[in-house]
Chain A
Amino acid sequence: MQDFKTNTNPMADKGGYSQGQIGETITMNIGPSHPSTHGVLRLKTEFDGDMITKVEPVVGYLHRGQEKIAENLTYNQFVPFTDRLDYLASMCNNIAFVQCAEKLAGIDATPRCKAVRVICCELSRIASHLVGLAAYAMDAGSTTGFMYCFTQREKILTLFEALTGARMTASFARVGGMARDLPDGWLGSVNVFLNQFAPALEEIDKLITRNRIFIERTEGIGVVTAEQAMQYGFTGPNLRGSGIDTDLRKTNPYLGYENYDFDVPIGTHGDAYDRWLVRLEEMRQSSRIVRQAMEKMPDGPINIDDPKIVMPRKDKVLTSMEELIHNFTVATQGPDIPKGEAYFEADNPKGALGFYIMSMGGGVPYRVKIRAPSFVTLSALQHILPGHHNSDITVVLGSLDFVLGECDR
């Protein structure tokens, strides 16, 4: 006999389901070392049978104190640390950080620098979405989809290697410009990549999007309504999957995104399937942006002409006293950033990555706060997951596409 008066299950009075042992729950630990948690995420999960009744995400296993470190390094020295936030799209992080410092200093990057940054950001977005979708597809059971995505991502990483010397941790941006200009023929390689990427993306699309198993695993799972998405503080593809058309590249444009022609895909139901569709379409739009940026690539210098901010050219450093002094000052004391505070959010692949910099003047920030989109996404898990089945956890986690390096900082 079931005594419903002593029932302590929060889901039972909602009439959603009834199982043999209502009210009796077990607590299970998922992670922190589990392949489908995409890093070191731990979920303290309470189950009633197969149904999740309560979830408590535990984060912090990858905490490295980046904000504390930032207070002790010059702006350019901190750029490599931003690589380790969302390591799947490191260039986006580099650029978001230097954009914030530039906003604080009132620096406007050169047109060529902006175009190069746009190309870097959008290629990173494609690479990051490819990993996100690959892991998502594999979590839902498709190993082939994983391989298709990673083949393409590998080609982008090869492009990055040619550009920056590093495949993942690029550290390519500097306050006032970039580490170096584009190498000869690099844009041609990007063009070759994009030409073969378009049909490859269609292949991924055909393989998974209409796959019956995938649809049944994802449709109606992990629903986040528009109202909830705003409450949770969702940004980026997760927010747009819920039907809100806030894309910071359109609404609060930076890097001259207002000059590019692209569409912002939005979902209608806010479920896991919509988030898949949004990311897939965003890759097509990113390819469009990269093509436009390559066509319109302006000539001219890549760095601004301010010896107190950017390093002088190396040949000048070796021959001229003035440049040698500037080189020494920028390298040891950092770029000269005035007193004040600035907040800048860039629409990164995982959502809006925000940097709040408080400066007391000089080359070292007084306080850097990193607003990590993955941190915000994970904070919503405790509201999204209850009411789902055990097997939906991997699908919801995959559809939210987060990175723990960014969450834990």
Chain B
Amino acid sequence: MDRKKISSAMPYLKAREAADGMESYDCPPDKLLEAAGILKDEYEFQTLDDIASIDMGPDKPSGARFGAVYHFYSHTRKMYLRLCAMCPDNSNPKLPSLTGLYLSADWAEREAYDLMGIEFEGHPHLARILMWDGYPYHPLRKDFPLAGLPAPLPDSFDGNYDATKVVPAPMEGGPFNASQGDAFAEKREPRSHAQI
């Protein structure tokens, strides 16, 4: 596919560095819908394979923090294309929804909303998908700790004190490493002896 043709048809796309040699562009969020439409109709990218939400970190001094990386696949050209759109507002990240163009964007955007907290404007049913409704956090954000945070249980567990408690995993040296250097199993792996 002609790189020049794409950049003349969509001058707002900026070539993006790609270690894997994929056609790769940065796209301003307000032009994302237009670019995806052109890619689908004129360049035969029939499938939206994946939306990967990214978080560049809470302590980033300048620039956009949240964004999404879109991977398109063309069944006729047999090739991939990557678009990256960063959300302009760090405190309230928003992107346009591609559900009008690709049905596969439906759940992919719900997942990005659920785990990263990016709001997709125009999505018909933007609800949590992997975590339960009413869960207060977006766990894939970089400021969410790996061990997790205590959260109220799903509504159906209301008043049911036999329901599973959220016990954060010990953090020393990794998610499932017990803390080192103690002779007693109870101290090395507190979860196995927790009084629940």
Contact = CB atoms under 8 A, between A and B. Distances in A.
Interface of A: 59-60, 63, 65, 67-69, 71-73, 77, 103-104, 106, 230-233, 235, 244, 246, 251-252, 338, 340-345, 352, 354, 356, 358, 367, 369, 371, 375-376, 378-380, 383, 408-409
A25 B128 CA distance: 26
A67 B140 contact: yes
Given A59-B130, A230-B75, A246-B75, A341 B104 contact: no
Nearest to A408: B130
A72 B139 CA distance: 13
A371 B111 CA distance: 11
Given A341-B19, A343-B20, A356-B71, A252 B107 contact: no
Given A68-B140, A69-B175, A233 B19 contact: no
27 contacts: A60-B132, A68-B146, A71-B146, A72-B175, A230-B47, A230-B75, A233-B48, A235-B49, A244-B75, A246-B75, A252-B79, A340-B18, A340-B19, A340-B20, A341-B18, A341-B19, A342-B18, A343-B82, A354-B50, A354-B71, A356-B50, A369-B53, A369-B69, A371-B52, A376-B107, A378-B107, A379-B103
Give the interface SS of chain B, mostly helix, strand, loop or mixed: loop
Most chain A CB within 10 A, of B46, B52, B128, B139, is at: B52
Contacts of B6: none
A246 B71 CA distance: 16
Nearest to A339: B19
Contacts of B152: none
A378 B138 CA distance: 23
Chain B: number of interface residues, binned into ranges: 35 or more
A72 B142 CA distance: 11
Contacts of B17: 340
B54 interface: yes
Given A235-B49, A340-B18, A344-B20, 18 more contacts: A59-B130, A60-B132, A63-B130, A68-B140, A103-B19, A106-B19, A230-B75, A246-B78, A340-B17, A340-B19, A342-B18, A343-B20, A343-B52, A345-B80, A356-B50, A378-B107, A380-B103, A383-B103
Interface in B127-171: 128-132, 139-140, 144, 146
